[in-house]
A and B are shown apart, each in its own frame.
Chain A
Amino acid sequence: MIPPRIAGAWLSLVLLVGPLVPVGAHGIRWERAEEAVALRLSYTDYRPLRGASVTFTAPGSDEIYFSGSTDQRGTIAFVPDRPGPWRFVVEDGLGHRHEEVLDIGTPAMAGSQVPATRKTTFLAAVLGLGVILVVFAVLGLWKGFFSGRRRA
């Protein structure tokens, strides 16, 4: 049985000194995650995709490993726990959705996908217009062929 005087002295000591002792087990520390992968997302006109929902799925898994939202500059970062093809899905909440596989094998491979640039967008637009031209040209030939046969 601890004498009440001793117990009271211990309790006083704990109450006085306790708040001064740093509680290491519940403290917060931080370090920079050098292996983090950051993506910058934008529309095809290069405006940042702000507040878009992005989910990352690890290689060989169907469960979402990480999900978050892009910041004001359209960027989002996460730390993959294994190499391989990571699937990410971007949705801006307005019906625009993009799904892509990001190959994270070695640091050199990360981000090896060709980003959309003004040049690639321009080339895609020109390619699209060319395809439309060809499709309608073929349609015109087809229609002309059949209307010619009908007249004949």
Chain B
Amino acid sequence: MHLADGILGAPLLAGTALVGGMGVVRGLRMMKPEDIPQTAVLSSAFFIASLIHIPIGPVSGHLMLNGLMGVLLGWRVFPAMLIALVLQAVLFYFGGITVLGVNLVIMALPALVVWGVFGGALQRAERVPVVSALAGMVAVVALGLSAVLVTLCLYSAGKALLPVAAAVLVAHLPVMVVEAFVTAAIVVFIKRVRPDMLDDPWAGPAKSSPRAV
């Protein structure tokens, strides 16, 4: 789902860079020293997940795990994804440096949205089927929102890219299914061993406190 250099216009690049930059600053302010190992692990998982391709007919997609990162990291998803995206662009030529802001917003903003929508419910859910269903929805909604944002970005670049946008949407439907199962398995495991890792964004400054700079 990485957008490449040279496709999008300068206003969109600048705007998304600004939004992404604000997200990174907010994420860094939210990050307490004890949060750093968890953020590093999920940043690494995001970096490596892009190498795991799922063949889908003539094309393929790769895992993104942005839903999982959202419910586990909250605002910290922005700096975690930024580092991974820079390395993916430099080492694997996924995306590009000038489109870092676009790709960051495309992947991190949906993660933040699912954290806000599902974070509290996931923290309160106790039964495994409920947790699995919620986690699956987290993955599907996050990936779906990312696909919609990609479509909007490509549409802004011109109608000639609409077939590409349609291909991106269709190609990621099976990825959503795979990612839903992966996310559900991981979240169910986390609920058993470290339920405190799941953060409720509306429960006050218990975990992600801006005061803990």
Q: Are B32 and A47 in contact (CB under 8 A)?
A: no
Q: List chain A residues, Cβ under 8 A from B61.
A: 94
Cβ-defined contact, A43 with B83, below 8 A: no
Residue interface mask B85-113, A partner, CB < 8 A = 1: 00110011110100000000000000000
Q: A140 — which chain B residues lie within 8 A by C-beta? A: 33, 36-37
Q: Are B1 and A50 closer than 8 Å at their CB atoms?
A: no
Interchain CB contact under 8 A, A121 and B51: yes
Complex Cα–Cα for A136 and B212 (A): 17
Report Cα–Cα, A97/B175, bound state, in Å.
20
CB neighbours (8 Å) of A45 from chain B are: 51-53
A97 touches B5 (CB 8 A): yes
User: Which residues 126-177 of B sit at the A interface, judged by CB distance below 8 A?
Assistant: 150, 163-164, 167-168, 171
Contact status B83-A125, CB under 8 Å = no
- Contact among A127, A132, A139, A144 for B84, CB-based, below 8 A: A132
**CB of B11 within 8 Å of the partner chain:** no
Evaluate contact between B4 and A144: CB separation under 8 angstroms: no
Q: How large is the interface on A (under 10, 10 to 19, 20 to 34, 35 or more residues)?
A: 20 to 34
Among listed B12-20, B40-48, B195-203, interface-contacting one: B40-48
A44 at the interface (CB under 8 A from B): yes
Q: Which residues of B contact A91 (CB under 8 A)?
A: 4
- Asked if A131 and B87 make an inter-chain contact with CB atoms under 8 angstroms apart, the answer reads yes
A146 and B83 in contact, given A98-B93, A136-B43, A139-B31 (Cβ under 8 angstroms): no
Flag whether A95 is at the interface (Cβ < 8 A). Answer: yes
In the complex, chain B residues 45-61 whose Cβ is within 8 Å of any chain A Cβ: 47-48, 51-53, 55, 58-61
> How far does the alpha carbon of A50 sit from the alpha carbon of B55 in the complex, in Å?
12
Contact across chains for B36 and A47 when beta carbons are under 8 A apart: no
Nearest 4 A/B pairs, CB to CB: A97-B4, A136-B40, A124-B91, A128-B87
Can you offer 12 A-B residue contacts whose CB atoms are under 8 A? Answer: A93-B59, A93-B163, A93-B164, A98-B93, A99-B6, A128-B88, A136-B39, A136-B40, A139-B36, A143-B32, A143-B33, A147-B212
